[in-house]
Amino acid sequence: MNSFVYDIPVKVYFGENQLGHLGQELRKFGRRVLLTYGGGSIKRNGLYDRVIEELRGAEMEVFELSGIEPNPRIESVRKGAEMCKEHGIDVLLAVGGGSTIDATKFMAAGACVDHDPWEFFGAGAKPIERALPIVTILTLSATGSEMDAGGVISNLATQDKLGRMAPAMLPKVSFLDPTLTYSVSAYQTACGAADIMSHIMEVYFNTNKDLFMLDSVMESLLKTVVKFAPVAVAEPENYEARANLMWASSWAINGFINGGRKKAWSCHPMEHELSAVYDITHGLGLAILTPRWMEYCLDESNVDRYVSFGVNVFGIDSKLEPMAIARESIKRLSEFFFSTLGLKSTFTEVGIKREDFAQMARKACRYGDIKGFKTLTPEDVERIYEMCL
List residues near a copy of itself by CB under 8 A: 2-9, 11-18, 211-214, 216-217, 219-221, 223-224, 227-228, 240, 243-244, 247-248, 251, 259-260
Taking the complex as a whole, the smallest distance from the CB of residue 354 to a copy of itself amounts, in Å, to 40
CB of 362 to a copy of itself, least distance (A): 37
Q: What's the closest the beta carbon of residue 337 comes to a copy of itself, in angstroms?
A: 20
Query: In 33-168, which residue ranges form alpha helices assigned H by DSSP?
Result: 41-44, 47-57, 74-87, 98-110
Nearer to a copy of itself, 8 or 156 (CB): 8
Nearest to 48 by CA among 35, 30, 31: 35
Phi, psi of 357 (to 5 degrees): -60, -45
CB nearer a copy of itself, residue 66 or residue 340: 340
- Between residues 157 and 213, which has the closer beta carbon with respect to a copy of itself? 213
Shortest distance, position 223 Cβ to a copy of itself, whole Å: 6
Radius of gyration of the chain (CA): 20
Amino acid in the structure at residue 330: I
- Cα separation, 7 vs 387, in Å, equals 39
Q: How far is the CB of 347 from a copy of itself (least distance, A)?
A: 32
What's the first-to-final CA gap in the chain, in angstroms?
38
| 28 or 362: CB nearest a copy of itself | 28
How far apart are CB 321 and a copy of itself at their closest, in Å?
A: 21
Considering beta carbons, is residue 227 or 371 the nearer one to a copy of itself? 227
Cα separation, 212 vs 351, whole angstroms: 41
Q: Nearer Cβ to a copy of itself, position 63 or 228?
A: 228
Closest approach, Cβ 141 to a copy of itself, in A, equals: 12
**Cβ neighbours of 318 (radius 10 Å):** 12
Which C-beta is closer to a copy of itself: that of 41 or that of 220?
220
Q: In terms of CB distance, is 161 or 261 closer to a copy of itself?
A: 261
DSSP class per residue in 165-196:
E-GGGS-SEEEE-GGGGTTS-HHHHHHHHHHH
As measured in angstroms, the least distance from the Cβ of 250 to a copy of itself is: 9
Spatial neighbors of 212 by CB under 8 A, at least 6 apart, are none
Cβ atoms 31, 55 nearer than 8 A: no
Smallest gap, in angstroms, from Cβ of residue 152 to a copy of itself? 25
Give the bridge partners for 160, in sequence order.
155
CB nearer to a copy of itself: pick between 64 and 219 = 219
In whole angstroms, what is the distance from residue 209 CA to residue 189 CA? 31
Question: Residue 386 and residue 363: Cα distance in Å, rounded?
Answer: 16
Shortest spacing between CB 241 and a copy of itself, in angstroms = 9
∠ CA 187-195-4 to the nearest 5 degrees? 165
Q: Which is nearer to a copy of itself, 228 or 265 (CB)?
A: 228
User: How far is the CA of 15 from the CAs of 26, 44, 384, in angstroms?
Assistant: 18, 21, 40
Q: Which residues pair with 376 in a beta bridge?
A: 370
Amino acid in position 238: N
Across 59-83, b (16+ Cβ under 10 Å) vs e yields: ebeebebbebbbbbbbbbbbbbbeb
